[in-house]
Structure 1
Amino acid sequence: MSISHKYTVLAPVSLSIALFISSCSETKVSQCQRLIKLVNEGTSLIDKNKGTQVITSIQLSKDLQFITKSIQELNLADPKLKEYQSGFVKIFQNLSQAIAKAGKALGSTKIAEASAAGKERIQKARNEIDSSLTAAEAIGKQSDKLVDEMNKYCKQAE
């Protein structure tokens, strides 16, 4: 085997091995950054749409479902980050459901008639909205706690 042939085979093999090793060894920092980016996107959506109308609430719920799916699909290797990932999936799923429920309840108040049945419908919707807001507030506190824990973990040296 000639020397030049030996290097032409060795170079691609070495490059392949190096790429394989580097792709398998994604750092904790880069995994943290990917998870934090999606969590921030979801939080930003919520902040931007607080107190909005029915159509916006329904859209926000759908947008949060998309964020939830994106978080679920993150391919994280770090076991602790996988725990945070799972926690945020639950948080955004629950927020999406609470916002959808409140949006639908708000929508039902807009079509309620000026009658005893309409007043009853409005009162039921108010109760559902209040329940959803209470749930969303509790979920928000869980999210804040999880964000704090994840930030502390992500700041630790590897």
Structure 2
Amino acid sequence: MNLFLISCAETKISQCQKIILLTQKMAEESETYRQTTDIKKVLQVADLFEETSQQMKQLNIEDEQLQEYQKGFADIYQGNADTTRQFVAALNNKDIDSAKLMQQQVQQLGKKEQDLGTEMNAYCQED
């Protein structure tokens, strides 16, 4: 009976793949908009980040360490959504200082995302 229960549990690798696939999808979709100056498209990216944050939270991840990575990515994506919207608002209000600050925050979130991805990849490759 225990053997059956164990074989039904998802492996660490398959749980890693769920998170990785979602982060790759987000990276590919957001790359399309990186160089745009169209405010509507920038706001679409914010919506995409928020949507991906929600999708990340909804992944069924059992491994406790992977749950931390899952939460980290969800928080980063939500932070990107919020900061991007604040950036657009600052531009619309011609508040250059705030826009620069939001731009720095987006860059910091990007760095956090890279670091988290590197950390998670190392964890996923452990036996």
TM-score w.r.t. structure 1 length?
0.73
Q: CA offsets, 1:34-86, max 9 Å, x none?
A: 00011111222332211322000111111111100000001100011001001
Whether 1:100 and 2:78 are equivalent positions in the alignment is no
State, as a whole percentage, how many aligned pairs show the same letter.
27
Unaligned stretches of 5+ in structure 1? 1-13, 109-120
User: Deviation digits for residues 115-148 of structure 1, max 9, x if unmatched?
Assistant: xxxxxx42x1x22221111001111111111000
Q: How many equivalent residue pairs?
A: 125
* Residue matched to 2:70: 85
Distance 1:131 1:82 in 2: 30
Q: Which residue of 1 aligns with 2:118?
A: 148
> Could you tell me which of 105, 117, 132 is aligned with 2:102?
132
Cα distance in 1 between the residues matched to 2:115 and 2:126: 17
Alpha carbon RMSD of aligned pairs, Å?
A: 1.8
Cα distance in structure 1, aligned partners of 2:24 and 2:57: 15
Matched position secondary structure for 2:107: helix
2:23 matches 1:39: yes
**Does 2:54 correspond to 1:69?**
yes
Relative to the length of structure 2, the TM-score reads 0.89
Specify every segment of 5 or more residues in structure 2 that has no aligned partner in the other structure, as ranges: none
Say which SS state the counterpart of residue 32 (structure 2) adopts.
helix
- Runs of 4+ aligned structure 1 residues displaced above 4 Å come to none
Code of the residue aligned with 1:36 in structure 2: it is: I
Q: Which structure is larger by alpha-carbon Rg, 1 or 2?
A: 1
